Structures are given as C-alpha cells and as structure tokens.
Amino acid sequence: MSGELYSQLIGAAAGTLLLSAVMVVWRRSLSVDLRLLAVQGVALGVLVAVMALHEGDPLLLLVALMVLVLKAVVLPVALARGMAATQADHERAPLLNPTASLLACVGLAGLAYVVSAPLASSGDDPALRAVPIGVTLVLIGLLTLTTRRRAMSQLIGFVMMDNGIATVALLTAGGVPLVVELGVSLDVLLVVLILLVLTSRMQAAFGGTDLDELKELHD
C-alpha cells in the first residue's frame, strides 16, 4: 500500500468516525443513532484493517475483523433489541438542544486538538495526525452520556466513548495485541448487556426509562 493511499484511507475512516458522532448528537431518533453507531463500528474496523494491511500484520487484521463484528453488528443489534423492549425510539428533551449540542461539539473538537497537538505533531505518520479525532470522539460520547435523559441514549454515548478510547489506543500504539482487544471488547459487551437488562427492568417496573422522571418518583 502506497503512503498516499494509506494517508487517504486513514483520513477517510477517521472523518467517518467524527461525522457519525456529530450526527448522533444532532439527531434525536434512537433508531437512527443505532445505525450511525453501526457506521462508526464499520469505520473503526476499516481503520484497523488499513493499519494492518499497511504494516503487513495478520494478527492486527484479526483484530480488525473482531472490531468490525463486535462494534458494527453485535453491539448495535443488542442495543436495537433493548430499544424494542423499552419501546423508546425518541429522545424527547435532552439537556441541550441540537444547535447547542453542535456548538458544544465544535468546542470539544477544538479542545481535543489542543490537548493532543503534541502527540499529533510528534511524527509524520497519518495515524498520529488522526489522534485528535479519537479524543474528540471520547468527548462527544461523554457529552451524549451526560446530556441525554433516556437510559438507551446514555448507553449509545457510553459505546461512543469506548469507540473513541479504542481509536486513540489503536492510532497511538499502532494496534493492540489480539488478546488485549478481545478482553476489552468482551468487557464492553458484558457491561452493555448488563445495562440493557437493567433498562428493560426499569421499563417493566416504572413504564419508562427517562432518568429525570425516575428521580422525581424517588423524591
């Protein structure tokens, strides 16, 4: 793979990661958010596959396949089933409206570029230059997690944060060992499944998963 093609593919995959995260913040439909999460998983899998092909590392190619299956298929499907169980397809009243959320994304992207500038400028590798996008993904996931009211929306933010952390780890380390990625991925899958069970129980017990309404019930 030529250096120019490698740089373009890394940039395209990283750009797709960032665009899908911003679209999740902008949209309020949870079903659309899950499709965007699947797109994000595909982009992350492609990112790892490009790095594997560039380095000629077959184990890293296995990591790419595992990332693709878990983050583009398994997690979105599991979340979709949880959404069907809770019958919640729309984020009704997030703490930030779409305009304020997009402005917050711009600010977080600026912060990410400032914080990760020393690392991004430490070499000529296109993967290092894409690190600020991974940090931005973490911050946007945190923003989604803290400003959405429905439990399912917060789960989507949690998965986006994990995608961002995985992106930064892969870009800075040039890939991670297969065993490490397998362990981390299974941990995330387990956490998501547990939270889905809790969300379904909340829906069955209280008839909703809006955390603010549940706090009012507690008071």
pLDDT digits (tens, 9 = 90+) for 1-27: 777 888 889 889 989 999 999 988 887
What three-state secondary structure class fits 210? strand
Would you state the pLDDT for residue 3? 74
d(CA 128, CA 148): 31
Would you state the pLDDT for residue 110? 92
pLDDT-flagged residues of the chain (< 50):
none
Would you state the pLDDT for residue 42? 93
Would you state the pLDDT for residue 209? 62
Would you state the pLDDT for residue 46? 92
Would you state the pLDDT for residue 218? 56
Please name the amino acid found at residue 200.
Answer: S
DSSP per-residue letters across 130-189: THHHHHHHHHHHHHHHHH--BHHHHHHHHHHHHHHHHHHHHHHHTS--HHHHHHHHHHHH
d(CA 92, CA 76): 21
Would you state the pLDDT for residue 74? 86
Would you state the pLDDT for residue 55? 84
d(CA 153, CA 212): 13
- CB-based contact 112:161 (threshold 8 Å): no
Would you state the pLDDT for residue 82? 76
